[in-house]
Structure 1
Amino acid sequence: MSQLLDAAATVFTRYGYAATTIDAIAEQLGATKRRVYHYYRAKSDIFLDLIIAGMQEMIDGVAPLAIQRDVSSVDRLWRMAHYHAGLMMTRNSYQRVAVQAVEMHRLQQLAVKREPLDKFIALRDEYERLFADVIDEGKRDGYLRDVDPRLATKPVLGALNWISLWYDPERGDYAGIAKVADEYADFVVNGLRRNRP
């Protein structure tokens, strides 16, 4: 099933939700439509599983970083931003589709089953809370400026998510994933730091 989701992520990234077909997913998978239909009844079901998997992967990577008590809040924020930036490049198709889903939901263009969509939105909210909590802690510790943590989380994640839209893994953009992730993490932390370097 992971191969099917990988193929679907590639196709949704290439064509967008509206233009993606089960035929295109099957072709990318190197399988028949029947095989795809064995697991899924509709492309919307594939899309929902895909975006939930992408969001869960983000939470699974960031949550342990957010709660490291032996690391300062500002260093945790840097690590969280670094991980997120890296994931936008190493798992580009999954993350690009998740970013598309958030935008489609915001514009009410996502006509899918309510329950899985609610799960995705709950995961997104949980993920944003991880960042907001660390930003709030950094503010209370005196490392970060006096900002509304929930509001500050929006441009932080907006900048990090944008990587999924401009980064092209086939071109190998820039000097490498680690360098891009380093610079984005620096950008996030320095943008919120009380005393900027």
Structure 2
Amino acid sequence: MASGLRDQSMESSRGDILDAAANCFMERGYTETSIDDVARSLGATKGRIYHHYRSKADIFAEVFRIGMDMNYAAIEPFRNMGGPAALRWQKMAFAHAVQMVVTKPYQRTVWVGVKMHLRGATTPEQRSVFEELLNYRTEYANVFREAIIQGRQDGDFHFDDLSITNQLMFVTLNSPIFWYAPRAGETRADIEYLAAQVVTAAYRGLGGEEKGKRP
């Protein structure tokens, strides 16, 4: 019993650290964020952080991984659903857009990681970890890619270049991580309305025939 409580306390402590770190990475980026910044945001000592993580790089990788885990969990109920691929895409896209809002610090950290990798701003040691994380992200993106390919084959989507369309689709679906800001009194319904508008814009970009339909 005591061991179980200790495990729960450890997980809670790690979660608090990751939440604080995600906010710091979102606000300052990777380079400008220090362990001191995370500790101040958490209201704790650096010792508490080093008790769980060896370095800032380890924390960053964990935030990135959890951000992607959250995305996978959100779309999981719809990945293998029957019916038209366009409807499957709508359901997944809506779940994804909601994640961009409700877990914004984690999702913005994922974006920071992708940008670092593309710029080559990683050490050789970090590179192997980043490649693993980016492969994880690519596998996630491929779930959507397969849905829009099938949707085009079904005649529900109309677009020319798959690669360009796929990139523009994610630019739209990910966009809340750049412009969304919580409002006083905001409800879950408000967030879902916002997500639905984002999905509508992405759906139109795919040449969806039932434009504007809320998933």
> Which residue of the partner structure matches residue 198 of structure 2?
184
> Which residue of the partner structure matches residue 64 of structure 2?
51
- Tell me if 1:68 matches 2:86: no
Q: TM-score, normalised by structure 2?
A: 0.83
Q: Give the RMSD, CA atoms, in angstroms.
A: 2.1
Please, which runs of 5 or more residues in structure 2 have no aligned partner?
1-13
> Which residue of the partner structure matches residue 79 of structure 1?
91
Give 1:110's match in structure 2, choosing from 116, 122, 125: 122
| Count of residue pairs brought into register by the alignment | 196
Matched residues in 2 for 1:45 and 1:170: separation?
32
Q: TM-score, normalised by structure 1?
A: 0.90
> Which residue of the partner structure matches residue 3 of structure 2?
none
- Tell me if 1:157 matches 2:170: yes
Whether the aligned pair in 1 keeps the contact of 2:61 and 2:129 (CA below 8 Å) is yes
Deviation at 1:23, TM superposition (A): 0.9
Please, which runs of 5 or more residues in structure 1 have no aligned partner?
none
> Which residue of the partner structure matches residue 30 of structure 1?
43
Change (3 A) 1:179 1:6: same
Alignment of 1:15-26 (within 5 A): 15-26=28-39
Q: Deviations along 1:46-104, whole A, 9 cap, x unmatched? A: 111111110121122224323211x3211111111111111111011101111111112
Q: Structure 2 counterpart of 1:89, which letter?
A: V
Whether the aligned pair in 2 keeps the contact of 1:77 and 1:189 (CA below 8 Å) is no
Deviation at 1:170, TM superposition (A): 5.6
Whether the aligned pair in 1 keeps the contact of 2:169 and 2:206 (CA below 8 Å) is no
Q: Structure 2 counterpart of 1:28, which letter?
A: S
Is the partner of 2:29 in helix, strand or coil? helix
Is the partner of 2:158 in helix, strand or coil? coil
Q: Structure 1 counterpart of 2:56, which letter?
A: K
Deviation at 1:36, TM superposition (A): 0.5
Percent identity between the aligned chains? 32
Matched residues in 2 for 1:145 and 1:63: separation?
26
Is the partner of 1:18 in helix, strand or coil? coil
Whether the aligned pair in 1 keeps the contact of 2:159 and 2:165 (CA below 8 Å) is no
